[in-house]
Amino acid sequence: MVLTVALIIGTILFGIGLYGALSQTNLVMIMMGVELMLGAVMVNLVAFWRYLHPESYSIQMFVLVVMTVMALEAAVGFAIGTQRFRTKGSIESEESADMKG
């Protein structure tokens, strides 16, 4: 029961994050959606650790790695945003058709 509650909260947060990452036009808002999804992943991991395997610390290690990924994603994303804003004057994804491969 308690595990189900935690997992459902994680699912809803993941859904909101997915909606945001797909629907927003601004790079920073897309990154916010990705951060929400990663936060939902961490909720799931901690719930699995606490309620199924409190003796296994590799799950906590995994949470630490996901936190690192969140910080790195923000750093590299802002760097791309800075360069994009400097050269094009905007970080809207609608105006980035020239980045299409």
Partner 1 sequence: MMELQITLLMVIGLIAIWFGWRVFRTNSMVRSAFSLLASMVAIGGMFLVMEAEFLGVLQIMMMGTEMSIMAIFMMMYMMDPGGLGQMDMTHQEKPSIVAAVVTGGLALGVILLTNWGDIVPAAPAPAQQNHDLGMEVMQRSMMIFESAGTSILTAMVAALATALIIHNNNQKEH
- Considering only CA atoms, which of 46, 50, 86, 49 is closest in space to residue 67? 46
| 78-87, long-range: CB < 8 A, 24+ apart | 80/27, 81/27, 81/28, 84/27
Q: Using alpha carbons, select from 94, 87, 83, 97 the residue that is nearest to residue 30.
A: 94
Closer residue to partner 1 in complex, CB, 46/101: 46
Amino acid at 56: S
Q: Is 97 in the site for partner 1 (CB under 8 A)?
A: no
Q: How many residues bind partner 1 (CB under 8 A)?
A: 72
Contact between 96 and partner 1 per CB under 8 A: no
Show contacts with partner 1 in window 7-46 (CB under 8 A). Answer: 7-9, 11-20, 22-29, 31-33, 35-36, 39, 42-43, 46
Residue choice 88, 91, 98, 99 for contact with partner 1 (CB under 8 A): 91
Give me the phi and psi of 52, to 5 degrees please.
Answer: -115, -45
Site for partner 1 in 42-71 (CB under 8 A): 42-43, 46-47, 49-55, 57-58, 60-61, 63-65, 67-68, 70-71
